[in-house]
Structure 1
Amino acid sequence: MRSLKAAALLAVAALTLTACGSGGDGGESADGKVKIRFSYWGSDSRQKLTEQVIAAFEKKNPNIDVVGEFSDWPSYYESLATKVAANDAPDVMTLEIRGLAEYAGRGALLDLTGKVNTADLDQEVLKANQVDGKQYAIPTGVNVFAMYANKSVLDKAGVELPDDKTWTWDEYIKLSAKITEAGKGEYYGTEYTSNNPTYPTIYAAQRGEKLYDNGKIGITADTLKAWWGNFTQMIETKASPDAAKMNEIIAGGVEQSLIGTNKGAFGMWWSNQLGTLSKVSGSELTMLRMPKLDASGGNGMFLQPAMHWTVSSKSEHPAEAQKFVDFLLNDPEAGGILLSDRGLPINSKVLEAIKGKLTPADQQSVDFIEQIRGELTQAIVPPKGASQMEDIIKRYTEAVTAGQQSADEAATKFLEEANAAISG
């Protein structure tokens, strides 16, 4: 599996080479239709849904032919960067938030302000995803990063759901250790995630800090050490598996997670992963607020775009590309096909129209987000180079949890490398 760091470096190099030119082989199809290309990544199920939504758009716009360019996640950015460098960028490109500043900053994206109907979209989410005050990208939908609880494991351990409005990290870890002890090797209290920048972002916010602050790393060494201290405490109290086992579990993804295999009571996942986790576990899962530093403090949670629709600044058919993006965002038929696959729609009318089609898991996600919406902040578009952060966080967290590096040394080196990544 190619690393995000490698993909990011290739993206930087490729975008630097980009010059003015055509959008590749855009033009007319053999039958006279305008052809636009659309790049995206995902699973086989996402590909099928996307083909359906493309067919629905083409039926309503018989003069436009949309050619989907599908890729798996590990190779997506490498492939896209190569195409952009060769003046062969797809007309409509899917980007996640860590790649947004990179592509916008190098002139690869069209400013969509006033070119796509955004009247019914969540205006706060839109504004939070601007780069230099311009709407280069529009979120496909939103998620929240939450704590999941597996009720079947809690029941086995004889433990009630915690009060997520007040629970703290210490309480979470102690409760998890209690559950592990009750499991006698059958299950653990929790699993942790060591490679997701969202977790330290939330933890930093609880301490009044930001992971990124004015183009620099805003999280302090003390906060990093305290964050890693939670992992160390989990391992030492057996609230979670040890570092080696956790690395294997993390590499296995949703299907091999402790929550998904009914071998763990708690775990942190995105809200749009509830359906998959519920399916693979076959158990009742509940989303909870993240633990806090103290009962009266904030939880640091935020609305995160699942991904973004963007249009190439070199597109030969920007009007048709914009029309396709408009359809994906604003047409209830498109919403009824995609449902929550790319996050819950930020178009209030579309969300209302499709509610009856959502699975029970998706309905639970909608209800959870609405319940805590007043507590949530908006995501911040990370600076250039942020695509490397997942790899950097993973390496130093694994070094600390495995006892290969002290927290003091890791914090110093992490800040040096992370700042270099986003300033380069």
Structure 2
Amino acid sequence: MKRILAATAAMLVAVSATACGSGDGGGSGDKNKIVFSYWGSDSRQKLTEAAIAKFEEKNPSIKVEGDFSDFDSYYEKLATKTAAGDAPDVMSIEIRALAEYSSRGTIADLNGKVTTTDLDQSVLKAGQVDGKQYAIPTGVNAFPMIVNKKAVEKAGQKVPDDKTWTWDDYISLAQKITAKNGGKTWGTEYNENPAFLQIFAGQKGEPFYKDGKVGVSEQTVKDWWTLLQKIIDTKAGPSAAKMLETGTKPDQALLVTKESAFGSWWSNQLDALTKGSGEELDLLRMPKSPGATASGMFLQPAMYYTISARTEKTAAAQKFVDFLVNDPDAGAILLSDRGLPTNAKVVTAIKGKLSPADQKVLAFMDSIKGELSPVVVPPKGATEMEDILKRATDSVLFGKATPDAAAKTFITEANNSLSQ
């Protein structure tokens, strides 16, 4: 995540800023107008505006103004508004920002303020810091392996048993697919997302975070880089330079351009990957390290709804969040865009409206729920983790640093970020 340090600095100023907060509802002066900030794609914006319209239809005394941004500029814009005492009444944040925002007094404790009876209580805990419910999860994700079965079978191979396959099985299969297609279709693309490392480390019994610091050992980070390097060296997947070109957005995925048979993405991205590729894609458990007793896979809220600690429109803001997570009408519009809903009644109500891809996600999540590690809220400073890990990973894959040196740099930089 870019520019988070600047955004965090602005948040520090916000704590001592004027106490009026977002009391004017974004400067409109409307008694019951609230501002809702969120990030995403054009399709998310359309879905959200439709949900807002439905809420206003059911609550004609409340006006909701959507404050939309793309992800790259979202936190910087949010920090600027917060520092100016003009924080949105309802704010979307992600798990890596939760400890930061709650500790700065930016968001309110929602315990008893939003109905949570029908929400998955284990997931709900992922919105808590020091026993206070600062955030309500929008829905849940996992980070599985995505496969184009047709591409695998076209290469004369079989889709593996995802309950037993290992990392070596995965690389060997991907290598065969690449070879069969003469390099036109890679066996796999790979992802430098911290979620991938977290799963790999979890299989070795190491948590990503422990006691406010990085819990992953230098050796495990190096072993993970060895795995990525093996994918490149065996031509199971493309070069680091090719992967750098594709970026981290689903619409640029090699699965979408039909240049790869496998790839790791968040489960709520399956629908976009499926539509973008025009192919039928499926979800698999991630491969395991030999002898691993845990899958390493974990649940994670796609994002959260939070309410400004300084809003003077508390009742309206609470009613809006309650609608988003508990009302089947909201669920029928938003579907899985912010992860599969954690409200069982909403899921039951909208199941028939889910796309075939989302139906697969629902079935997959149900099948692996007993294998998933519980959600852990990262400590303050975790917002920088993706950038720190990417810099270290690229330095190794592009041959600019040795794994030993890069691992030490990663652990040092990561812990420095977490200690701020």
Alignment of 1:19-418 (within 5 A): 19=16, 20-24=18-22, 26=24, 33-194=31-192, 196-250=193-247, 253-294=249-290, 297-418=293-414
Contact 2:203 2:292 in 1 (8 A): no
Instruction: Report the alpha carbon displacement of residue 52 of structure 1 after superposing the two structures with TM.
Output: 1.0
Between Structure 1 and Structure 2, how many residues are aligned? 418
**Distance across 2 between alignment mates of 1:295 and 1:270:** 25
Percent identical among aligned pairs is 57
Counterpart CA distance in 2 for 1:371 and 1:323 is 33
Q: Is the 8 A contact 1:26 1:37 kept in 2?
A: no
For residues 300-319 of structure 1, what are the alpha-carbon distances to aligned partners after superposition, in whole Å with 9 as ceiling and x for unaligned?
Answer: 11111000000000001111
- State the Cα distance separating 1:320 from its structure 2 match: 1.0
What SS is found at the alignment partner of 2:247? helix
Whole-angstrom distance in 2 between the partners of 1:407 and 1:342: 36
Deviation at 1:384, TM superposition (A): 1.1
Is the CA contact (8 Å cut-off) linking 1:150 and 1:285 kept in structure 2? yes
- The worse-fitting range, judged by mean Cα deviation, of 358-367 and 128-137 is 128-137
Superposed CA offset, 1:324-371 (max 9, x none): 100101011011111111110000000100001000000000000001
Secondary structure class of the residue paired with 2:51: helix
2:332 and 2:30 map into 1 onto residues whose CA distance is: 30
Conserved 8 A contact 2:97-2:380? yes
In structure 2, C-alpha distance between the alignment counterparts of 1:363 and 1:191, rounded to whole Å: 24
1:15 deviates by 1.3
Give the whole-Å Cα distance in 2 for the aligned partners of 1:55 and 1:385. Answer: 36
For structure 2, the residue ranges without an aligned partner over 5 or more in a row are none
SS of equivalent to 1:239: coil
Deviation at 1:87, TM superposition (A): 0.7
Corresponding letter in the other structure for 1:56: K
8 A Cα contact 1:290 1:301, kept in partner? yes
Deviation string 1:193-234 (CA, Å, 9 cap, x unpaired) is 12x111111111111111111100110000000000001111
Q: Quick one: distance in 2 between partners of 1:371 and 1:356?
A: 19
Q: 1:360 to 1:107 in 2, by over 3 A?
A: same
How much does 1:250 deviate? 2.9
Q: Please report how far the alpha carbon of residue 254 of structure 1 lies from its aligned counterpart in structure 2 after TM superposition.
A: 1.8
Per the TM alignment, residue 49 of structure 1 is displaced from its structure 2 partner at its CA by 1.0
State the SS of the aligned residue for 2:33.
strand
Aligned letter for 2:413?
A: E
8 Å CA contact 1:152–1:262 kept in 2: the answer is no
Q: 2 CA distance for matches of 1:383 and 1:31?
A: 37
The AA in structure 1 aligned to 2:195 is T
Distance, in Å, in 1 between the alignment partners of 2:12 and 2:25 is: 25
Q: Residue 146 of structure 2 contacts residue 283 of structure 2 at CA under 8 Å; is this kept in 1? A: yes
Q: Hey, what's the Cα distance between the residues in 1 that align with 2:356 and 2:28? A: 44
Q: 255-264 or 18-27, which moves further after superposition?
A: 18-27
Distance 2:411 2:198 in 1: 14
Partner Cα distance (1:129, 1:67) in 2 = 24
1:313 maps to a residue whose letter is A
Distance in structure 2 (CA, Å) of the matches to 1:268 and 1:378: 20
Contact 1:29 1:65 in 2 (8 A): no
Letter paired with 2:329: E
Aligned residue identity for 2:237: S
Return 307-316 or 153-162, whichever deviates more. Answer: 153-162
Q: Distance in 1 between matches of 2:280 and 2:186?
A: 17
The alpha-carbon deviation at position 28 of structure 1 amounts to 10
Q: 2:306 is paired with a residue of what secondary structure? A: strand
TM-score between the two structures when normalised by the length of structure 1: 0.96
Q: Is the 8 A contact 1:35 1:66 kept in 2?
A: yes
Give 1:128 shift: 2.8
In the alignment, the residues of structure 1 paired with residue 12 and residue 217 of structure 2 have an alpha-carbon distance, to the nearest angstrom, of 32
Residue 362 of structure 1 aligns with an amino acid whose one-letter code is D
* Separation in structure 1 between the aligned mates of residue 108 and residue 370 of structure 2, nearest angstrom: 32
Compute the RMSD of aligned alpha carbons. 1.5
Q: Any idea what SS the aligned residue of 1:302 has?
A: coil
Offset at residue 379 of structure 1 (A)? 2.1
Question: Gapped runs of 5+ residues in structure 1?
Answer: none
Does the 8 A contact of 2:153 with 2:159 survive in 1? no
Q: Which consecutive aligned stretches of 4+ in structure 1 deviate over 3 angstroms post-superposition?
A: 27-33
